[in-house]
Structure 1
Amino acid sequence: MQSTFMVIAVLAGSLFTFSACNQDNVPLQPGLPYQSSFQAGSDGWSAGITDFGKAQENSMEFKAAWKGLPAPLDTTRKSLMLSSMNRSDDAFMFIKKKVVGLQPNKEYKLVFTIELASQYGENSIGIGGSPGSSVFLKAGASVVEPVSVLKDDFYSLNLDKGAQNNDGKDAIRLGNIATTDDKEGYSLITRTNADKPFSVTTNDKGELWLLIGTDSGFEGLTTLYYSKVNVLFQ
């Protein structure tokens, strides 16, 4: 089936998500890591944004697309691009995917290795915080699908991802999105939790939802490109 990509608005939560029709919920092969490199499509991942007030939903400028990496990187390599303006000083942009074929009711230790393109230096300065060192990459999993919910005119995630640089029950921090130097232009960075595996237990069908996202303390525009996601189930 030919991959398709689209950007849609989910009105009950004012989220924008992308989706593709290829490789949705493919059973995992026992003993092998799960990997998405996005060269043929989104691989069943979808995207959203949360942690902002209802009054701000039309000004977050959230976009998601399947597209080539930005120059000066190899623009023929595909990726998942997420971009938003952090009007709330707390925006959480995320991607999620349901995985099946795991052992039912089994505790797994997950090691994420995530490659993404960033242009924000470690010493960069911005409103509210650094565009690089104040935007934190998180990853986790749950048997519950991650969705944005509205309560008291504020959209928040239905899972515990932790606040900004703090870990939560359903996601932990892998580091920030800062590049190793402060020169202009995108470069690829890799983050992993190899030294701190994330524990989660599947449901009685052997299913989990994977969650990856950025918790931002920078009050400005952030545009990132996820180029590879590897998850080792131990």
Structure 2
Amino acid sequence: MLRLLFSAAVSLLFFVSCKKEEGNDQPTTIHSDFSDGKDGWQAGFSEYNGDNVESYELEEGIAILPSPLDETKTAYRISGMNRSDDLFMYLTKRVQGLQPGVTYHGRFTVRIASDAKSGGVGAGGAPGESVGLGVGLTVDQPTSSPDENNFYRMNIDKIQQCCTDGDDMVVIGNVANGKDEYEYTLIERTGEFSAVTDHQGVLWIIIGTDSGYEGKTTLYYSNIEVILEKT
């Protein structure tokens, strides 16, 4: 009888252990619509001169969607004037509770309001097609800091303008609105990226634009979804 009870207990422990392990394999979904604020996202800027930062008109924060979109909804607004031929504007968020030292594959869906018409013309490039949108996952927190010349640069290998991937990010499209007029329109871009978590099971999500257009870009991130799955 004792042997049967011991055998049953071992079987139960094995079953619970297996179920727990299976649970850890479930995808982790990060979804933000910014209806209740920044939801843990942080904005930043890079590729600009700190000596005359005011001229870049850098702005970020939660704002109401612009007309003709639904003005009862909010989004994460980020804006800047590209005076360096390569202004980078980004959002980043820390994700914890993942398994340490494991590769996670991220599937990104990003909805942005952009007023850059398709086929537009501007200094340095088109206001839509010359502004690349990229996504990535990193172990280190993405940050921007000044070099010896007070020029702000990223600590990660980001995308370069519309068309070049970095080690830590990939280009998933541009910000052209798909119309022949300068009108705010919701556009959707999707992409994928993989990275290995640190020893605490942490990754940082980064989503950003790198501009070849030498003018002002103002975007509204209305919805971000990232699904992380173990590979």
> Which of the residues 201, 205, 222 maps onto 1:227?
222
Q: Which amino acid aligns with 1:229?
A: I
Normalised TM-score (structure 2): 0.85
Aligned identity (percent) is 43
Counterpart in the other structure of 1:10? none
Letter in 2 for 1:160: D
Alignment match, 2:159: 162
State the AA in 1 paired with 2:179: D
Gaps of 5+ in 2: 1-23
User: TM-score normalised to the size of structure 1?
Assistant: 0.84
Query: Equivalent of 2:86, from 86, 90, 97?
Result: 90
Matches within 5 A, 1:201-212: 201-212=196-207
Task: Give the whole-Å Cα distance in 2 for the aligned partners of 1:191 and 1:29.
Answer: 26
1:221 Cα deviation (Å)? 0.7
Contact 1:140 1:170 in 2 (8 A): yes
Shift of 1:54: 2.9
1:120 aligns with 2:109: no
Q: Which residue does 1:99 correspond to in 2?
A: 95
**Residue in 2 aligned with 1:183?**
181
The Cα of 1:152 is off from its aligned counterpart by: 3.2
**Retained in 1: the 8 A contact 2:48–2:84?**
yes
| Deviation of the 1:29 alpha carbon | 10
Pair 1:70 & 2:76 matched = no
For residue 32 of structure 1, report the CA deviation from its aligned partner: 4.0
Root-mean-square deviation over aligned CA pairs = 1.5
Distance in structure 2 (CA, Å) of the matches to 1:138 and 1:56: 27
Structure number with the higher helix fraction is 2
Deviation at 1:53, TM superposition (A): 2.4
Work out the number of aligned pairs and report it.
Answer: 204
Bigger radius of gyration among the two:
2
Q: Tell me the amino acid that sits aligned with residue 36 of structure 1.
A: S
Offset, 1:91: 0.2
List runs of 5+ in structure 1 lacking aligned partners: 1-27
Contact in 2 for aligned 1:120/1:182 (Cα 8 Å): no
Supply the distance in 2 between the matched residues of 1:32 and 1:99 (Cα, whole angstroms). Answer: 9
Q: Which amino acid in 1 is paired with 2:176?
A: A
1:149 match: 145
Instruction: Check whether the contact 1:29–1:101 (CA below 8 A) recurs between aligned residues.
Output: no
